[in-house]
Amino acid sequence: MTYQYQAISADGEKINGTLDAVDEYAAVAQLRAMYTIVLNVKPQKEKGGILSKEIGTRKIDQKALSVMCSQFSIILQSGVPIDTCMSLVSKQVKDKGLRRMLEKSAEDVSKGNSIATSFKKNCPHLPPTFIETIKAGEESGTIENSFATLQRYYDKSFKTKQKIKQALAYPSFVLSVAVVVLIIVMTTVVPSIATTFLDLGGDMPLITKLLIKMSDFFRENILWICVVLIAIVMLFRIYIKTEVGKRSWSTFYLKLPIIGNIGILNTCSQIANTMAALLNAGLSVSRALEITGRVLDNYMIGKEISQMTERIEQGKRLGECMRACKFLPDALVEMCTIGEETGELERTLDTIGSYYDNEAQHATEKAIQKMEPATLMLMAGFAGFIVCAIYLPMFYMYELI
């Protein structure tokens, strides 16, 4: 921690300053070695305000973590001390948050603090997988292997997510354009056409009247519609942060027809890849399960995975514990059982992770292939509705003429 102090030097001069120390006792010990009298020592308060807050520090880019771990692994294998390695890597990392974390961690490690503790202290938003893997490597004396394991893990995770994002890019773009066009048509185009029809007089067909009513509703209540939508989104976000909301939403999500299957496949990929990385770093099965449960995207499956820790510590087999989880597919359970029985659990999990990465990607692409024609049909139906509503009054007018 950083402490502010007031002290008196040997010359009788009053000095104010700051210093870093593990705790207040260590700070006082450092000051007594430098000054005759120590007047005051207190923790330094962080500066508040919007300008002092960092934007986007909560989410750490997995690609940046992968590159950083690769650099650590290579430099450490050449025999460079860890604090020097941190300083070297900090000059190469492009992410500003990681750079500051490495610079501060290098100072802490040079003072005798552990690597994992320094990382956790200076960057509390680092994933538990990262911290625990580094801690295990530090305790076993294979820290360079831990960084190599993390590099493979985050690189694989990043590439999988990128493939899914690329697959979702086109339908997301089409839906966004459709919504924007709908808003423009209903608030600007239709009102002007409706005014023209009303000026010409005559009875309009039902479909045209319906379109005009819809347009008037959107135009008069667009502000309230936006407010209600924003309120619904905010209330939903607040609800899913509660314990009941997390359980309800995660369970509901897994039971959805197509999206639920994709969610299960992604969760299985996370379980296999995360456990493989942790076991390769030297963690026990129970500890690996506990950490894996904390990093899963789905809350319900994460809770069930974490609860397996007690059963494993009681002497039960991993396969037996996984069978109690109702959302895990039989293929994952059976493969983990075989890997445990043959003593090749780490390698089996790595293979399962690759399998479910591909399955999740294929399921996502298949769902998008089904969604694209449905989206086009919906847009075509709406466009046809507008065209009919606009042209039918014209035909009526021509008959009257």
Residue 111: DSSP 8-state: T
Q: Place 180 in a pLDDT band, splitting at 50, 70 and 90.
A: confident
What is the pLDDT at residue 144? Answer: 83
User: 138 and 115 in contact (C-beta within 8 Å)?
Assistant: yes
Predicted pLDDT of residue 200 = 62
Tokens of 280: 């390769």
Whether the Cβ atoms of residue 150 and residue 63 lie closer than 8 Å to each other: no
Q: Is 354 exposed, middle or buried (0-12, 13-18, 19+ CB in 10 A)?
A: middle
The pLDDT value recorded for residue 22 is: 65
Burial environment of residue 82 by CB neighbours within 10 A (0 to 12, 13 to 18, 19 or more): buried
- Beta strands (DSSP E) in 99-248 are none
Q: What is the largest CA-CA distance in the chain?
A: 108
Does an H or E element contain 4, and which? strand 2-8
Tell me if 122 sits within 8 A of 273, measured CB to CB: no
Q: What is the pLDDT of residues 319-357, one digit of tens each?
A: 888 888 888 888 888 888 888 888 888 888 888 888 888
For residue 228, what pLDDT is reported?
Answer: 92
pLDDT over threshold 50, residue 67: yes
The Cα 65–Cα 98 span in angstroms is 8
- pLDDT tens digits, residue range 259-296? 888 888 888 888 888 888 888 878 888 888 888 888 88
Structure tokens at 196: 């023209």
Give dist(CA 66, CA 305) in Å, integer.
25
CA distance 376 to 36: 80
State which amino acid sits at residue 297: D
pLDDT of res. 58: 53
Cα 384 to Cα 31: distance, rounded to the nearest angstrom = 80
- Neighbour order of strands in the sheet with 14-20: 14-20, 2-8, 37-43
Contact present, 94 and 110 (Cβ < 8 Å):
no
C-beta neighbour count of 365 within 10 angstroms: 14
User: Which of the pair, 396 or 42, is modelled with greater confidence?
Assistant: 42
> Residue 384 contacts by C-beta under 8 Å, 6 or more apart in sequence?
none
Q: Which tokens go with 108?
A: 């802490």
How many other C-beta atoms lie within 10 A of the C-beta of residue 300? 21
What pLDDT does 108 receive?
A: 81
pLDDT digits (tens, 9 = 90+) for 69-98: 888 888 888 788 888 888 888 888 777 777
Phi, psi of 40 (to 5 degrees): -155, 140
Task: Please give the mean pLDDT across all residues of the chain.
Answer: 80
Q: In this model, does residue 169 exceed pLDDT 50? A: yes
Q: Does 190 have pLDDT greater than 80?
A: no
322 and 308 in contact (C-beta within 8 Å)?
yes
